[in-house]
Structure 1
Amino acid sequence: MSLRWDTSEHIVLGRFVVKWLFITAVLGAAVGSAVAFFLWLLHQATVIRWQLPWLVYFLPLAGIAIVVVYAKWGKNSAGGNNLVMEQIHEPGGGIPKRMSPLVLFATVATHLFGGSAGREGTAVQMGGSIAQALGDLFKLNKPDTRIFLTCGIAAGFGAVFGTPLTGAIFALEVLTLGRMRYEALIPCLMASMFGDLACSMWGIHHTHYSIIAAALHLDDAVAKITPLISGKVALASIFFGLAGYLFAELTHTLSHLFTKYVPTYWVRPIIGSALVLGISYLLGTRDYLGIGVLTADGTGASIVNAFKGDGITAWSWFWKLLLTAITLSSGFKGGEVTPLFFVGATLGAALASLFGLPVDLMAGLGFIGVFAGATNTPLACTIMGVELFGAQCLPYFSITCFFAYLFSGHSGIYLSQKMESAKCQDIKCSYSSLRAARENKRPLHLIFQRRNGCK
């Protein structure tokens, strides 16, 4: 058989790379710069709240302002991350340009006055909105627009966490449970790398985490897998997956209850604020307000302290989960991922002694595991572990993310996530998206049909 080489094919591939190199460079520069500005504002808002602790008492007023602004001028911007995903799946009305400034204002206000929320949702929405605007400027056709919007997610995610490879894989993996669109792989990788580069050029520095796990003697480039530790990690990962499931389901349930029983939309953030501040008062701490990476005095429950086991209680993970679910479901804006990092890291730290594993290892595994379960992105989260903590624990990262993904069930924080296939071959998926599955009135165990024909 003779060697097959089609010159025209490689010319087309070359043009494809050059084309996307140019437009993703523009996109990455714009999104990365916007994310840099957002992260700077977020840091300033956090510091100001620490310096002026009485600001938290204005959280209800901030919530009213946010929901009123979205109601009057937001149009469909309130769709958030789900709107971005829907426009990638089925391009229609597009993503409004106003989404970027609105979500920027709303998220900074949420953090300034003590709401418990994250930041990735803001970065992803800004990325999608900017991508839509630039796509219209470049006059992209519908298939290219879908890829370009996916690149917007990649650029925003890669820039906000300083994890460009994770950003690329996350953008591809999060859209559809069980399928990835590889035609967008190179564009997403370039967009994410450009976004991260642009963000770092503005002098933005991301929090550094490390897993030393001295007791495991991680001297090799990649740790050797032992059956005992692997079994412990797999078992712990079930808890991480269940925590991701609980967060997603609680957030969706509370959102439904607020909508059903509090018809006046501007009253919802008042009730949400009262619950968040009231619970914080009863707990005697404000560690669960804001983003949760650090605390004002460096002590107490935070993501950074979880890696040292300092200030973490057995229920730190639950209180952050609860307050974030209340904050987001009552109308405040922000992301879910950083709170998921908090939930996972503190849950891992709390489980460390039970499983007899180093606290920093368990905090790191929980950090990525709960995220993997709640977003159904095990590959992206495995890569995130390498980008954030190094490759030494790669085998345990993969075990954690894959098991957490499986045991989070067919649930997730993004209801517009399509469902291409079930997580288990013994279950046949019968719904097109997580939203369709949740809106069905049958019990959860009847949402899926067994392959053996049982109804």
Structure 2
Amino acid sequence: MQKFRTSFHPFLVIIYLVKWTLWVLPVSLLTGSLVALFLWLLETVIEIRFHYNWLLYFLPLAGIVIHFLYRYSGKNAEAGNNLIIDEIHKPDTGVPLRMAPLVLFSTIITHLFGGSAGREGTAVQMGGSLSHFLGRHMHLSKENLRILLMTGIAGGFGAVFGTPVAGAIFALEVLVVGKLKYNALLPCLMASILSNIVCSAWGIHHTNYQISFVSQHLLSLGSFGFNLLLMAKAIGAGIAFGLAAYLFVRLSHAIKRYSNQLIKVKWLIPVTGGLIIIVLSFLISPDYLSLSVSNPDPGAVSIVTCFKDGGAKPFSWLWKILFTTITLGMGFKGGEVTPLFFIGAALGNTIAMITGAPVDLMAGLGFIAVFAGATNTPLACTIMGAELFGADNIVYYAIACFTAYYFSGHTGIYGAQKNQIPKMPGRA
């Protein structure tokens, strides 16, 4: 084992904290402000789309605009989150500043015309490109630049969802499966908290999800209690959540791969994807377009309704997988995480209706566990559950997230994520 000096100098720690506070402040101010602008624009365009349903018919045209925008202006920005992760692993060509306005504009266009996508990818890319730009101009070393890039990820994630602690852990956990870079923990936490404060200061409010279920504890675990029957249901649900994450990841990669192989004229890929989404919205339902966080139609399925009895249809989770993988796999922009929230909450609702488990608890478990499985970030997702829903049921959060993590396979939505340690001993 490598040995380190055991001497401790509080003054050096203070210098370290002051230095990183000064470096993180501009990243957080810019990231938090840009995320606030993005969330405001996103809410505005989604309201416009609800009011003018005919905008969906222009989704193929929006795809053409996004394609040529990235073709002539994007350069390596097309790689998105994977470019940022790659740059942290091995600094090379850098993260272009143009990534921020490109992904902001293209995500807004995707949602305005009904594409099923999320928002975390946009926030992370904006934070990453801004932090890299600032780091280069501050002439930071490669190691410090890596950490500053991680603070950009943390700031973007923490601000866009209002989960600062989960944002910090996500930035550490998403890079390498099985290994955390603890020397970046404090800078990431500072960036995530400050970015969230800045975003909130602009008047941005996040959706409030509530789990009112309180377990009738049969056994105690320290200050927490749990019910064995409900624990068994949480384990079974975690398996289902992991398999749903696996399906999402495999289908996303397959659609992207085969669409590029089969459609030789590249601008026709988003056109085809847009046409498929239009057809699916008529054959299945328009409920699965855009974010699907909420819907002015009281009979529509959304993340909010999934926390209520009968708030999802038996295959709502599957339809959202289909809509989202086609949207993102065929050239539109946005994140995967909010659709993963929907998929998990809808599947949790269905499982609760079958097993008799509390609907709001199962929806909440699915909300975080499918995300955990698809991104290989069970620690961040467990903490996210506590930040979003309260810590009373944290034992169940951990059970669902870690079970989903093991049952989601050895891949994830981020191709640049490295597998340092296999999920199971003896597996490469």
AA aligned to 1:389 is: F
Kindly provide the amino acid, as one letter, of the partner of residue 236 in structure 2: L
* 2:29 corresponds to: 29
Cα distance in 1 for partners of 2:298, 2:40 equals 20
C-alpha displacement at 1:298, in angstroms? 3.4
Q: Measured at CA, do residues 47 and 14 of structure 1 come closer, stay the same or move farther in structure 2, by a change above 3 Å?
A: same
* Pair 1:199–1:222, CA change in 2 (3 A): farther
Give the aligned residue type for 2:290. Answer: G
Contact 1:118 1:338 in 2 (8 A): yes
Q: CA deviation at 1:176?
A: 0.1
The offset of 1:292, in angstroms, is 0.6
Which residue of 2 is the match for residue 361 of structure 1?
361
Aligned to 2:235: 234
Q: Which amino acid aligns with 1:257?
A: Y
**Match of 1:150, as an amino acid?**
M
Question: Where in structure 1 are there 5+ consecutive unaligned residues?
Answer: 430-455
Q: Would you say 1:399 and 2:399 are equivalent positions? A: yes
Query: Aligned in 2, Cα 1:5/1:143: closer, same or farther, shift over 3 Å?
Result: closer
| SS in structure 2 of the partner of residue 224 of structure 1 | strand
Deviates more, 1:153-162 or 1:128-137: 128-137
Number of the residue aligned with 2:64? 64
Conserved 8 A contact 1:299-1:305: no
Kept after mapping to 2: 8 A contact 1:299/1:310: no
Name 1:137's counterpart in structure 2: 137
**Number of the residue aligned with 2:321:** 321
Q: Which residue of 2 aligns with 1:252?
A: 253
- What's the CA shift string for 1:381-400, capped at 9, x where partnerless? 00000000000000000001
* 1:217 Cα offset (Å): 7.8
Give 1:224 deviation, angstroms: 1.1
Secondary structure at the counterpart of residue 416 of structure 1: coil
**Contact 2:126-2:156 at 8 Å conserved across structures:** yes
Q: 1: distance between equivalents of 2:332 and 2:276?
A: 13
SS at match of 1:93: coil
Query: Mapping of 1:17-166 within 5 angstroms?
Result: 17-166=17-166
CA distance in 1, matches of 2:211, 2:330: 36
Equivalent residues of 2:235, 2:400 under 8 A apart: yes
**For the residues of structure 2 that align with 1:323 and 1:162, how far apart are their CA atoms?**
26
Tell me if structure 1 keeps the 8 A contact 2:248–2:374.
yes
Is 1:31–1:152's contact at 8 Å kept on the other side of the alignment?
yes
CA shift for structure 1 position 136: 1.3
Q: What is the DSSP-based 3-state SS (H/G/I as helix, E as strand, rest coil) of the residue aligned with 2:261?
A: helix
Partner of 1:425: 425
> Partner of 1:443 in structure 2?
none
Do the aligned partners of residues 88 and 233 (structure 1) sit closer, same or farther apart at CA in structure 2, a change above 3 Å counting? same
Q: Is the 8 A contact 1:222 1:391 kept in 2?
A: no
1:29 positional shift: 0.8
Amino acid at match of 1:395: V
Q: Which whole-Å deviations, capped at 9, do the CAs of 1:401-450 have from their partners, x for residues lacking one?
A: 100000001011001001101000131x2xxxxxxxxxxxxxxxxxxxxx
Per the alignment, residue 381 of structure 2 pairs with 381
Q: Hey, what does 2:172 align to over in structure 1?
A: 172
Q: Deviations over 1:174-221 (max 9, x none)?
A: 000000000000000000001100000000000000101257489x99
For residue 202 of structure 1, what is the aligned residue in structure 2?
202
Residue 88 (structure 1) shift: 0.3
Aligned residue in 2 for 1:439: none
SS in 1 for 2:333: coil
Residue aligning to 1:289: 289
Taking the aligned partners of 1:222 and 1:306, their CA distance within structure 2 comes to 29
Residue 265 of structure 1, CA deviation: 1.1
Q: Residues 172 and 281 of structure 1: is their aligned pair in 2 closer, same or farther, counting only changes over 3 Å?
A: same
What's the CA shift for 1:297? 2.0
AA in 2 matched with 1:148: L
Letter matched to residue 95 of structure 1: V
How far did 1:12 drift?
Answer: 1.9
Q: CA deviation at 1:355?
A: 2.1
Q: Do the aligned residues in 1 keep the contact of 2:124 with 2:156 (CA within 8 Å)?
A: yes
Kindly indicate whether the alpha-carbon contact (under 8 Å) linking 2:217 and 2:227 is maintained by their aligned counterparts in 1: no
| Structure 2 residues not aligned, in runs of 5+ | none
| Residue equivalent to 1:414 | 414
| CA distance in structure 1 between the partners assigned to 2:50 and 2:381 by the alignment | 31
CA distance in 2, matches of 1:223, 1:66: 49
Q: Which residue does the alignment assign to 2:281?
A: 280
CA deviations over 1:212-254 (Å, ceiling 9, x no partner): 1257489x99651222211110111000000011001100000
Q: Name the TM-score, length of structure 1 as normaliser.
A: 0.91
Q: Which amino acid aligns with 2:250?
A: E
Shifted more, 294-303 versus 122-131: the winner is 294-303
Q: Is the 8 A contact 2:158 2:192 kept in 1?
A: yes
Amino acid at match of 1:242: L
Structure 2 contact 217–226 (Cα < 8 Å) conserved: no
Which amino acid is the alignment partner of residue 231 of structure 1?
A
Instruction: Decide which moves more: 223-232 or 137-146.
Output: 223-232
Provide the rounded CA distance (Å) in 2 between the counterparts of 1:109 and 1:216.
47
Question: Any conservation in 1 of the 2:215–2:226 contact (CA below 8 Å)?
Answer: no
Q: Secondary structure at the match of 1:74?
A: helix
Helix, strand or coil at the partner of 2:357: coil
Percent same amino acid among aligned pairs? 52
One-letter amino acid of the structure 2 residue matched with residue 275 of structure 1: I
Deviation of the 1:5 alpha carbon: 8.2
* Cross-structure match for 1:446: none
CA–CA separation in structure 1 for the residues paired with 2:310 and 2:355:
18
Assess if the C-alpha contact under 8 Å between 2:35 and 2:160 holds in 1. Answer: yes
Who is 1:442 aligned against?
A: none
Describe the SS at the equivalent of 2:313. Answer: coil
Report the CA distance between 1:309 and its aligned residue. 3.0
- The alignment partner of 1:331 has SS state of coil
Does the CA contact (< 8 Å) of 1:343 and 1:370 recur in 2?
Answer: yes
